[in-house]
Amino acid sequence: MAILLKDLVNKNVPLNGGHRMCPGCPTPVIVKQILMSTDHPKVAANATGCLEVATTIYPYTAWNIPWIHNAFENAAATIAGIESAFRALIKRGEIAEDRKQTKFIAFGGDGGTYDIGLQSLSGALERGHNFLYVCYDNEGYMNTGIQRSSATPIGANTTTTPVGKVSYGKKEPRKDLISIVAAHHIPYIASAAPHNWMDTMNKAKKAIEVNGPAFMDVISPCVPGWKIRTDEWKGISEAAVKTCFWPLIEIENGEWRLTGESKKIADGKMEKLPVEEFLKSQGRFKHLFKLENKDVIKLIQDDVDKSWNYYKRMAGYND
Amino acid sequence: MAAKYIPLTGAESAAYAMKQINPDVLAAYPITPQTPIVMKFSEYVANGEVDTVSITVESEHSAMSATVGAAAAGARAMTATAANGLALMWEIVYIAASTRLPIVMGIVNRALSGPINIHGDHSDTMGARDAGWIQVYSENNQEVYDNYFMALRIAENEDVLLPVMVCQDGFITSHSVENVMPAPDQVVKEFIGKKKFKGLLTAEKPFTIGPLDLQDYYFEHKKQQHEAMKKVFPVIEAIQKEFAEKFGRKYDVIEEYRTEDADIVIMGMSSVMGTVKEVIDAAREKGIKVGAVKPRFFRPFPGEYLKKILSKFKAVGILDRSDSFGSLPPLFTETAAVFYTSSTKPLVKSYIHGLGGRDTTVKLLEKVVTDLQKLSETGEGNFTSEYLGVRE
Amino acid sequence: MKEIKKSWKNIPIGGNILEAGNSKNYITGTWRTFIPRLDKEKCVNCFQCWMFCPDNSISIVENKMVGFDYDHCKGCGMCVSVCPTKAITMEKEEK
């Protein structure tokens, strides 16, 4: 059944206002898109990070569903414990009738997912727990003050890869987490971008309903970290996809495909924009537009093209 | 069917108790010398003798994380570990206690690295003494078995709601066979009862666990933990009494051995106390008025009990199976602190023994008896500490 | 917003927050510099603003966009940038 905005607006939003995320932060929107994609009862676990910190400052919580924060690196293990408890309590008849279809979702930033929580995630995926792990990927340790992570792209100015007289920012390309997760051969994996809410919600619905582990990596432009205006993230999310910096991917039972704008680009029905279109409005890349750094933009473009070609090949397109 | 003894190792005793508890969830990662607990329990799972959901995690960090998740969800959740495994869990060990989750964790005490060593000492759990967990130390296999049931009841008591570590000594206890008398399943079932605490999956309304707790409330939550610990001993006493009635074995917070007319006593925890008792029997044959004192709990610290008991003696030798480098060892310092305001107090001497699984032999303990006789007569060596059995 | 700080005796143990979604009692509207205004004439009730509002501050009543939850709207302006009919505008808020 298609997801319709006119239906959604009449439903309770799982994350209330009054949270203290930055103005113009897309992460609460991502949470809304993920959690409202199905009507199942849900329990969420959250890794330490912006979302956790800013939505549950004691004695206030923005969460309308059962929710737990344990630590930074263990959201996957925590949700695994909850999901296991669910199976045990179902067996023993201790779960109320209206909760028997409960679904389990973990949220972590890229720090908690690509880096410190990768082992915990890998373990939970391998063990086959029935849960969805969502990485809201703002490409850095934003909560602690904009440090680099392994999700930070080449050339980004962060507080641990600052631009200086001899440095243009981060030197290394992003880690290909989608492929790492894909190597676990779990039933459902996707990347998503919140400007394309329909694509994100359709993916979330599949991810939540599939039997077994599912993973989604959702780009989350960061107002202070990317140095953008508070009303800008939707356009930047869109540019990320249209430049193929952030391809929309879906891997269902090992079958790779491209979706949304990425599919149109691969099919030749939409123009692939140069990466500058993604970089230009972000303060973290401002220095790259100086003459002395023009090679870095080429470096980024080469990295984007290499990844894009790889994902296209995986999705069955010939170069 | 009349209860009878069966030969079990300490690890098997723990696994047997866990089988009878039949927890909702077990999340554990193997580490020597805890491995036989998870191996045995996995057999029970494989043979359908329990219907526990077993999570074979990829690390101890995830073992504790998943156990916290399961307990927070409303399940009876258990785990077990040792030494470096406990160290890897460290961060989440604190979170389990501060989140007030009634988890029971089996600990097979082992020396912490480095250099790496697999044998028994208490450096692992002594390091975790401020984590907010209750700690019970077991002398022998029967006590291991019995402590699991009492630990579960203490943890889940509504006035307490704190996690408990059930400790036994690595190899010395965990891998040694002794005769253990298990209780019939029905007796266990009635004793442990049904869990009353609610979690994310079982509470009536949705709620939030683990928020960001800043200057305005964190302190209040710590005070709650502090106060909960204060309520533990009355709960333990009631549960030990009930245990004696149901299981026929009586335990006290502090076990005293041949102390009625003793002038000197040796105090220590866990397996070494078996050897201590033998040494005392032999010394008694020679007419030496010596006894033994064994605190079963280290957290909460049974200070008031010790103050009352130890003030009767002239000299006390305190055995610590761990060091606190740059200070005096934990059992000694905390015991000594109890007497700060007392006018009657025993002379005390500290012994650090058995690190890395080094045998604390009868001969070494005979030396302790001789030391204590001298201390009680001359006061020589009062408030000093020595390594017992190290090569000079 | 005066909040009475409670004693350790009067709060749930473990840091649990038992009232789900009580952040609605916390006002973030004071963060705002610019305030969104709706022109109902131009609004076509496409609900794009609802979808992209990070603060759950678009008020919908009987399938109609009726305005904003000014207690929680932080004034980010996302609703303006996604509105296809220019029915929302931002203006400097007089305090």
Model pLDDT for residues C28-79, shown as the tens digit of each residue: 999 999 999 999 999 999 999 999 999 999 999 999 999 999 999 999 999 9
8 A C-beta contact, residue B53 and residue A85: yes
Q: How many domains does chain A have?
A: 1
DSSP A162-174: -EETTEES--SPP
CA distance B10 to B138: 10
Q: How far is C4 from chain A (nearest CA, A)?
A: 11
Q: Please, which residues have CB within 8 angstroms of residue A308's CB and are 6 or more apart in sequence?
A: A244, A247, A272
**B205 in a structural domain:** no
Position A167 in a domain: yes
- B164 and B45 co-located in one domain: yes
Q: Using DSSP bridges, classify how beta strands A163-164 and A167-168 pair: parallel, antiparallel or unpaired.
A: antiparallel
Q: Do A63 and C76 touch (CB under 8 A)?
A: no
Amino acid of residue B289 = K
- Tell which residue, A70, A52, A47, A58, has the closest CA to residue A15: A52
CATH class of domain segment(s) C27-92 = alpha beta
Residue whose structure tokens are 């939030």: B208
Are B147 and B128 contained in the same domain?
yes
Domain that holds residue A209: 14-314
Tell me, yes or no, whether A90 lies in a domain.
yes
Touching A: which chains, 3+ CB pairs < 8 A? B, C
Per-residue pLDDT tens for A182-197? 999 999 999 999 999 9
pLDDT over threshold 80, residue B178: yes
pLDDT score at C95: 78
* Helix runs in chain B, H state only: 10-21, 35-46, 60-73, 83-98, 123-127, 141-156, 185-192, 218-230, 232-247, 272-285, 303-310, 330-338, 362-378
Distance CA(A106)–CA(A76), nearest Å, equals: 6
- Tell me which residue range forms the domain holding B301: 257-387
Residue type (1 letter), A221: P
Q: What is the dihedral of CA B335, B341, B345, B347, to 10 degrees?
A: 60
What residues contact B326, with CB distance under 8 A and at least 6 apart?
A: none
The ipTM value here is: 0.97
Q: Please give the Cα distance from A239 to A195 (Å, whole number).
A: 10
pLDDT of residue C1: 53
Contact flag B206-A64 (C-beta cutoff 8 Å): yes
**Residue B302 covered by a domain:** yes
Chain A residues touching C48 at Cβ < 8 A: 5
Ramachandran region, residue B322 (left: φ > 0; alpha: ψ -120 to 50; beta: rest)? beta
- Measured between alpha carbons, how far is C54 from A30 in angstroms, rounded to an integer? 9
Distance CA B183, CA C3 (A): 54
Residue A159 falls within a domain, yes or no?
yes
Domain assignment present for residue B380? The answer is yes
Residues B36 and B128 in one domain: yes
Q: Do B209 and C16 touch (CB under 8 A)?
A: yes
CATH number for the domain spanning B366: value is: 3.40.50.920
Q: Are residues B171 and B93 in the same domain?
A: yes
Confidence check: pLDDT of C3 > 80: no
Q: Smallest CA–CA separation between C35 and chain A, in Å?
A: 12
First to last CA, chain A: 35
Number of domains in chain B: 2
Instruction: For chain C, report the end-to-end CA distance as a whole number of angstroms.
Output: 16
**Residues contacting A100, CB < 8 A, separation 6+:** A90
Helix (H) or strand (E) holding B315: strand B315-320
Residue B1, pLDDT > 60, answer no
Between positions 42 and 101 of A, the ones with CB within 8 A of B are 43, 45, 52-53, 56-59, 61, 63-71, 73-74, 76-82, 84-89, 91-92, 94-96, 99
Contacts A–C by Cβ distance under 8 A: 116
* Domain annotation covers residue B202: no
CA angle at B326 for the pair B324 and B329, rounded to the nearest 5°: 30
Task: Tell me: do B172 and B273 sit in the same domain.
Answer: no
Helix axes A27-35, A197-209, angle to 10 degrees: 50
- pLDDT at position C4: 85
Lookup: tokens for A247: 């391809």
**Numbered residues of chain C with Cβ closer than 8 Å to any chain A Cβ:** 11, 15, 17, 19-28, 31, 46-48, 50-57, 60, 63, 69, 71-78, 80-82
Q: What is the pLDDT of residue B278?
A: 98
Element (H, E) at C88: strand C88-92
Instruction: Give the pLDDT confidence score for residue A180 in this predicted structure.
Output: 98
DSSP state of B158: T
CATH number at residue B134: 3.40.50.970
Residue A281: closest CA among A234, A210, A227: A227
What residue in B sits closest to C19 (Cα-Cα)?
A: B207
pLDDT of B2: 55
Q: What is the mean pLDDT of residues A293-317?
A: 97
> Under the phi-then-psi rule, with left for phi > 0, alpha for psi from -120 to 50, and beta for the rest, what region is B261?
alpha
Cβ count near A257 (within 10 Å):
18
Residues B193 and B270 in one domain: no
Lowest mean pLDDT across A3-7, A74-78, B39-43, C81-85: A3-7
